[in-house]
Chain A
Amino acid sequence: MSNWLEITNLESIPVLGSRVVETDSIKIAIFRGKDDSIFAIKDECPHKQGPLSQGIMHGDSVTCPLHNWKISLVSGEALGVDEGCTNVYESKVEDGKVFLKLS
């Protein structure tokens, strides 16, 4: 069974910015949209594993800092003509706290 994990305060993530959540095995980028929506995505670009957390976020996608692929934060899929997909995770905000569901 998987559970919701409390990660951090919403306020600790800049608007249109990100934080990195690190477990023993993976890194997950948590993004915060302009309307305080939260997205969680594996911090690895489907192209060449670029750290998506370091990209520029816009709407519900992020531009990878290494070669400018655009990745959907909703589906993890590369947008436009590029092809590839990375994992996304369920996330939610309650009482100003950010929760993440792994697996």
Chain B
Amino acid sequence: MTQDSKSNAKQNLILVGNGMAGMRTIEEILKLEPEKFNITVFGDEPYGNYNRIMLSPVLANEKTIDEIMLNDDDWYKENNIQFEKGKKITEIHRTRKEVIAEDGTAHPYDKLLIATGSTSFMLPLPGVDKYGVIGFRDIKDVDTMIEAAEHYKKAVVIGGGLLGLEAANGLMKQGMEVTVVHIMDTLMERQLDAPAAKMLQKSLEEKGMNFLMDHQTEEILGDERVTGIKFTDGTTLDTDLLVMAVGIKPNIDLAASAGIHCERGIVVSDTMQTFDPNIYSVGECVQHRGVTYGLVAPLFEQAKVAANHLVELGYARYEGTITSTMLKVTGIDLFSAGDFHGDDDTEELLFHDVASGIYKKLIIRDNIIVGTCLYGDTIDGTWYFQMMKDETNISDFRSTILFGQAHLGDAGHGDETRVAAMADDAEICGCNGVTKCEIVDAITEKKLFTLDEVRAHTKASASCGSCTGLVESLLAHTLGGDYSQAPSKQSMCGCTELTHDEVRDAIRKHGLKNHEEVRRTLAWKTDDGCAVCRQATNYYLLCEYPEYNDPESRFINERAHGNIQKDGSYSVVPRMFGGMCTPQDLRAIADVADKFKVPEMKVTGGQRIDMFGIQKEDLPEMWKDLSEAGFVSGHAYGKAMRTCKTCVGDTWCRMGTQDSTGLGIKLEELTWGSWMPHKYKLAVSGCPRNCAEATIKDFGVVCVDSGYELHVGGNGGIKVRVTDFLTKVDTEEEVLEFAGAFAQFYREDAHYLERTAPWIERVGLDKIKAAVLDDEENRKKLYERFLISQKPAQIDPWKKHAEGVDAHQFKNIKITVEA
């Protein structure tokens, strides 16, 4: 079947504009369907495509042109791409579906991708065409500047924004005497507020940069070559080189002259399609939902979406990007994102330490970060930015947020989280013993950009993940401006570009029924996926279809229904509802332990008994005995409901207010067997003394005289988190309904391997309240769905296996080999 479509003649895809956005789209297409198109690329620059944002470090002598080339001529050859280097397209003939190059040749297309980028905006001043007046956009401009620095002394940069300052810094590094002329009285007014801008100006002045603020240029002086400029106030300034960095102008002429609808940029839809269905456009030349962009992160997202539609997968949508800014001037730390000025409805959190040159400002609306501006200490920039994008509710840690992520009670790391100050041999990843310098070396030597790449190369953050924040800070710190290249969304694993949410949505939307359908429909890069995406996908599928099960996509613990131990044996933990037991129960466990010669037993932290060192082949027999004595699996091994811890309660305890053990049993009977995104624990305490530690459980109940307080999102593990109070209810029935509804909302909303604590921190308590507290009807629906999912889940897996399901798993094939 696929054979057919392949034998059809390939379509012609033409890309006009060999820049960062266009070529990223081509790379995405090659990843998805390398055989779909005959690809021809036109670029009017005489090089392969290069990393334009690195022109600043090149100018500052920190990188060479070779180091910033992304794809050389060989790459185009290897990928069978016809590369028309140095050839400009001057005309698009839409009815004939042809582009015409400047040499008059015509080239037919089936699909056309326009990624013509933008050009430096040159102020229309008298004299702007003199020699030595340039923009800052491409390799040619950089060459001109370096050459000028060899022969001349003085340079002026008009424009005190990001580009202007990077140009000025580079020219200074080339040995020139540089003055920045800016029309406003503070620098980078689109990214910085006045205090931060003043601090920046001071630091740059200390480096030797000169400033003429509040100055408007009127005329460029000189004969053939620029010799100076004249301002509106009549004064003049001598210079041998004039760099204009006052803004960029989207290159829309080609598209506009072909009758494609353009405003400031080429207007595209959420699929990156222009008004001509055969023509797509990405990059700085486009205008999407009224916005044009001038940074790479949004363009890379656009590239992914355009590729998705060009290969006719057709499900991706571009919905705009919130961008952040850093300045690539060595020794200056600056980070800004969002609305950093604020308005009447916003509040401002401010930290300003003049002596040590640190300024941090967060703009908050309804406890959600809407903007940030950091100077001097930008380590937490990515953290604030992530919370801003996630719309995280910060009310819980508002009072300490300005001190950074390090202060969030990250048990065990504490102040050391300031990665910049850490010693080179400091251990970042405790699980895999990876040090700071190993990570930094890997990032620089292997050119790593993303968390996943660091994980793959160093193993750091690849296990328990508690050091993920540290590794991300190290990435940001080591890469500086480059980190903006990292995708702003995290894909599930290396097998797909899609995020957890996107995979899940696709399963729901397209009714995907199994692993193969998911991987095929969503164009997975690997045939079988990998251990990471298979387990996650498996969970999403079984959450949609409670009967679904693919044992081979589950971690061994869930396949063998026991915890694998370091020597390959297993542990067996029978469920003890609410921690309650009878002498018969204990006797049955003792008998089983004797019969199977269990080497060691222990009372667990979850109020039940663990038997260690069981050989896999013995498991079904042992389960059979336990099952006959009335026990079911304790799921101590699963991403599943684990235990419901209880305290004595009002049956015996002189302080008890309610029957906490009885309620605990009911809760465990309701929830046992449920598969979850991660482990899930409950507890019921009989009074606020809270002996069952209900306030560090995923769902905790604290009984009080007048009813039951319900708490959610606690965690006692790697990073201790106290629960959020959800509500108080009057009856046990209500407790059960809330317990089921909350569990179901978590099951349907959280990412695989995300416990309730980080989930709530990501989505915010308000979202949970809206779903399970404020909307009664929705709560009842969630509860109902939970009960439905519990039907297959509560068929005891131990009993099933004891009765012979998957028996092959437990039986080795014994053979004798003759000598």
Contacts and interface: CB of A to CB of B under 8 A. Distances in A.
B816 interface: yes
B256 interface: no
B509 interface: no
A19 interface: yes
B553 interface: yes
B266 to A, nearest CB: 41
A85 interface: no
B528 A16 contact: yes
B459 A81 contact: yes
B534 interface: yes
A19 B560 contact: no
A59 B555 contact: no
B816 A24 contact: yes
B813 A7 contact: yes
Interface string A2-35: 0001011000111111011111100100100010
A20 B817 CA distance: 15
A64 to B, nearest CB: 9
Contact of A5 (B457, B459, B555, B817): B817
Contacts of A76: none
B462 interface: yes
Q: What band does the interface of chain A fall in when counting residues whose beta carbon is under 8 Å from B? A: 35 or more
A58 B531 contact: yes
A65 B551 CA distance: 14
A20 B458 contact: no
Contacts of A57: 528, 552
Given A12-B808, A55-B556, A56-B555, A23 B531 contact: no
Contacts of A56: 530-531, 534-535, 552-556
A66 B552 contact: no
B125 interface: no
Contacts of A58: 526-531, 534
Contacts of B817: 5, 23-24, 102
B568 A50 contact: yes
Given A48-B566, A66-B564, A81 B813 contact: no
Given A48-B566, A102-B817, A81 B457 contact: yes
Contacts of A34: 527-528
Contacts of A14: 551-552, 808
B753 to A, nearest CB: 13
Interface in A26-82: 27, 30, 34, 48-51, 54-59, 63, 65-68, 80-82
A57 to B, nearest CB: 7
Contacts of A5: 815, 817
A66 B555 CA distance: 10
A82 B568 CA distance: 21
B597 interface: no
A80 B530 CA distance: 13
Interface in B324-357: none
Nearest to B550: A16
Contacts of B529: 58
B528 A68 contact: no
A56 B528 CA distance: 10
Interface SS, A side: loop
A11 to B, nearest CB: 10
B528 A22 contact: no
Nearest to A3: B818
Contacts of A22: 812-815
A34 B564 CA distance: 26
A63 B556 contact: no
A12 B564 CA distance: 23
Q: What band does the interface of chain B fall in when counting residues whose beta carbon is under 8 Å from A? A: 20 to 34
Contacts of B566: 48, 66
Contact of A68 (B531, B808, B813, B815): B531
B556 A7 contact: no
Nearest to B515: A16
A60 to B, nearest CB: 9
A34 B552 CA distance: 11
B257 interface: no
Interface string B800-819: 00000000100011111100
Given A22-B812, A58-B526, A58-B528, A17 B555 contact: no
Contacts of B459: 81-82
Contacts of B553: 16, 56
Contacts of A23: 814-817
Given A54-B568, A57-B528, A58-B526, A20 B551 contact: no
B458 A81 contact: yes
B322 interface: no
A80 B456 contact: yes
Most buried by A among B529, B813, B817: B813
Contacts of A7: 813, 815
Contact of B556 (A16, A20, A65): A65
Contacts of B808: 12-14, 19
Contacts of B559: 54
A63 B551 CA distance: 15
Contacts of B813: 7-8, 19-22, 30
A68 B456 contact: no
Given A58-B534, A59-B527, A65 B812 contact: no
B61 interface: no
A24 B815 CA distance: 8
B651 interface: no
A23 B531 CA distance: 29
A30 B812 CA distance: 11
B463 interface: yes
Contact of A59 (B528, B568, B816): B528
A30 B463 CA distance: 27
Contact of A20 (B530, B531, B552, B812): B812
A79 B534 CA distance: 19
A17 B456 contact: no
Most buried by A among B552, B554, B555, B566: B552
Nearest to B446: A81
Interface string B535-578: 10000000000000001111110011000101010000000000
A39 to B, nearest CB: 13
Interface in B769-819: 808, 812-817
Given A19-B813, A20-B813, A21-B812, A54 B552 contact: no
B310 to A, nearest CB: 27
Contact of A27 (B534, B552, B812): B812
The 9 A-B residue pairs with the shortest CB-CB distance, nearest first, are: A63-B531, A58-B528, A54-B556, A56-B531, A51-B568, A16-B552, A20-B812, A65-B556, A22-B812
24 contacts: A7-B813, A12-B808, A19-B813, A21-B814, A21-B815, A22-B812, A22-B814, A23-B814, A23-B815, A27-B812, A30-B813, A50-B568, A51-B568, A54-B564, A55-B531, A56-B552, A56-B553, A56-B555, A58-B529, A59-B527, A63-B531, A81-B457, A81-B458, A82-B459
Given A13-B808, A58-B529, 7 more contacts: A20-B813, A50-B568, A54-B556, A54-B559, A56-B534, A57-B552, A65-B556
